[in-house]
């Protein structure tokens, strides 16, 4: 049975917590990420991005001291919800941020609405997320942005038969559906469709089915952190004559070198490559390598840009932390990210950025996703029409 008095009490304490948080001198950000468990690679990258940003820009914005409270949800949405509640009620945070995977971002949405505080999604990529609360603003990406573009590209570039392998949860379904829609509209054909579990998947049995379907290419979505393991099993199962295409998550820059030559020639669409040719990105990659001893992946950029969004919004409000004012300040904001130009869609609060089609090539002995085509200012194609 639903306990309404308990819900009312929780709602009231969230509202009171949010009001008292506004009177503080510092701005508290509750950063909720999977720092342990199967999605820990994502949490690490996002956290690194936020740490790099603060090391460069200092710990004040809009005249307020910025305090980040990092909490590990292990990528379990029930934990995300409990932690978000504790951060709002006990720690009196002004903003919640992070959210490694879609189920976590969704779990926190009602709390952001109740407490009227911004929820900054730095990592998760399912289109529906920003529609779940008017306080959600996203600096990561959507799978619909990358998957529509690679679907068109495949249909126009001689690929006729595709077998798909996608992680069996919301972003995997977005990736599959948006790819299919554009690829089949361009007269491509799906010859095999397999879905793999999100946590610690064994790809081997699925790969045999993909191989048997004898496709021209395989379309793959696995979340950041799993691409290395996928490519290892793809090579072991003897699929390496079959081209890999997809959203760029599978060819994540921080794992790419370890994949070896099997990755060469993979064509993917994404908003970020460590090889992106701009001064902002060269500076970002150099600073990241210096601080963490390795190449950044795209999840680090979502964390870095998420902090920029918060800092710039605080500057605009003159340090005012009231949730509605912050979200208003974030709408329509534009800046130069390591990914290229980006902005926040004032209508949807979702990210608008370039999508790049890239091919894995060797440059100075290292593997890179080398961008060869740019689609400027791509809005999320996955928003439901109102």
Q: In what order do the strands lie in the sheet with 119-121?
A: 60-61, 64-72, 26-33, 95-98, 119-121, 136-138
**How far are the Cα atoms of 8, 174, 190, 213, 250 from residue 209, in angstroms, in the given order?**
51, 22, 13, 6, 19
Burial 117-127 (b: 16+ CB within 10 A, else e): bbbbbbbbbbb
| Per-residue interface string for the shown chain with ligand PHB, residues 37-76, x marking contact by CB under 6 A | -----x----------------------------------
Closest approach, Cβ 359 to ligand PHB, in A, equals: 19
Closest approach, Cβ 124 to ligand PHB, in A, equals: 3
Closest approach, Cβ 133 to ligand PHB, in A, equals: 16
302 part of the interface to ligand PHB, by CB under 6 A: no
Judged by CB under 6 A, which stretch of 119-127, 182-190, 327-335, 344-352 contacts ligand PHB? Answer: 119-127
Nearer to ligand PHB, 47 or 249 (CB): 249
Closest approach, Cβ 328 to ligand PHB, in A, equals: 26
Number of residues that bind ligand PHB (CB under 6 A): 10
Closest approach, Cβ 166 to ligand PHB, in A, equals: 11
Nearer to ligand PHB, 65 or 379 (CB): 379
Nearer to ligand PHB, 34 or 338 (CB): 34
Contact 31, 98 (CB under 8 A): yes
Closest approach, Cβ 19 to ligand PHB, in A, equals: 32
How many other CB atoms are there within 10 angstroms of residue 300's CB atom? 34
The H or E element containing residue 30 is strand 26-33
Q: Which residues 159-178 are close enough to bind ligand PHB by CB under 6 A? A: 171
98 part of the interface to ligand PHB, by CB under 6 A: no
Q: Which residues 315-374 are close enough to bind ligand PHB by CB under 6 A? A: none
249 part of the interface to ligand PHB, by CB under 6 A: yes
Residue holding tokens 């004898």? 214
The residues facing 164 across adjacent strands are: 193, 219
How far is residue 135's CA from residue 353's CA, in Å, rounded to a whole number?
20
Judged by CB under 6 A, which stretch of 14-22, 30-38, 124-132, 231-239 contacts ligand PHB? Answer: 124-132
User: Read out DSSP for 65-127?
Assistant: EEEEEEEE-TT-HHHHHHHHHHHHHTS--SEEEE-SSHHHHHHHHHHHHHHT--EEESS---G
Nearer to ligand PHB, 171 or 215 (CB): 171
223 part of the interface to ligand PHB, by CB under 6 A: yes
User: Read out DSSP for 320-366?
Assistant: ---HHHHHHHHTT-EEEETTEEEEE-TTT--EEEEEEEEEEEEETTE
Classify residue 309 by its DSSP letter: H
218 part of the interface to ligand PHB, by CB under 6 A: no
User: Read out DSSP for 137-168?
Assistant: EE-S--HHHHHHHHHHHHHHTT--EEEEEEES
Among 101, 111, 122, 270, binds ligand PHB (CB under 6 A): 101
How far is residue 68's CA from residue 88's CA, in Å, rounded to a whole number?
13
127 part of the interface to ligand PHB, by CB under 6 A: no
Judged by CB under 6 A, which stretch of 123-131, 322-330, 354-362, 371-379 contacts ligand PHB? Answer: 123-131
Residues that bind ligand PHB (CB under 6 A): 42, 101-102, 124-126, 171, 223-224, 249
């Amino acid at each position: 049975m639903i306990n309404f008095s308990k819900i009312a009490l929780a709602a009231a304490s969230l509202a009171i917590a949010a009001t008292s948080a506004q009177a503080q001198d510092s701005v508290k950000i509750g950063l909720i990420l999977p720092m342990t468990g199967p999605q820990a690679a994502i949490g690490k990258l996002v956290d690194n991005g936020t740490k790099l940003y603060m090391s460069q820009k200092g710990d004040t914005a809009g005249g307020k001291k910025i305090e980040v409270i990092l909490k590990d949800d292990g990528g379990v949405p029930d934990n995300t919800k409990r932690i978000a509640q504790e951060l709002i009620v006990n720690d009196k945070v002004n903003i919640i941020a992070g959210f490694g995977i879609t189920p976590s971002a969704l779990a926190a949405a009602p709390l952001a609405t109740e407490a009227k505080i911004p929820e900054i999604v730095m990592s998760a990529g399912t289109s529906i997320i920003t529609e779940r609360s008017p306080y959600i603003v996203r600096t990561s990406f959507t799978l619909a942005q990358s998957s529509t573009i690679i679907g068109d590209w495949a249909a126009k570039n001689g690929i006729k038969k595709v077998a798909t392998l996608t992680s069996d949860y919301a972003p995997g379904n977005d990736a599959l559906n948006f790819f299919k829609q554009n690829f089949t509209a361009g007269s491509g054909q799906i010859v095999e469709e397999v879905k793999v579990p999100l946590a610690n998947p064994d790809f081997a049995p699925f790969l045999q089915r993909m191989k048997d379907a004898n496709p021209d290419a395989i379309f793959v979505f696995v979340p950041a952190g799993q691409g290395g393991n996928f490519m290892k099993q793809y090579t072991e199962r003897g699929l390496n004559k079959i081209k890999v295409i997809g959203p760029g998550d599978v060819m994540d820059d921080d794992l790419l070198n370890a994949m070896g030559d099997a990755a060469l020639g993979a064509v993917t669409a994404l908003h970020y490559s460590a090889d992106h040719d701009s001064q902002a990105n060269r500076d970002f990659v150099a600073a990241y390598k210096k601080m963490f001893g390795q190449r950044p992946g795209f999840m680090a950029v979502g964390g870095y840009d998420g902090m920029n969004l918060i800092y710039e919004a605080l500057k605009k409000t003159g340090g005012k932390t009231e949730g509605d004012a912050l979200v208003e300040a974030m709408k329509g904001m534009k800046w130069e990210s390591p990914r290229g130009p980006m902005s926040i869609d004032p209508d949807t609060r979702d990210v608008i950025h370039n999508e790049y089609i890239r091919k894995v090539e060797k440059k100075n002995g290292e593997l890179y996703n080398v961008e060869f085509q740019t689609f400027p200012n791509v809005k999320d194609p996955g928003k439901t029409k109102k």
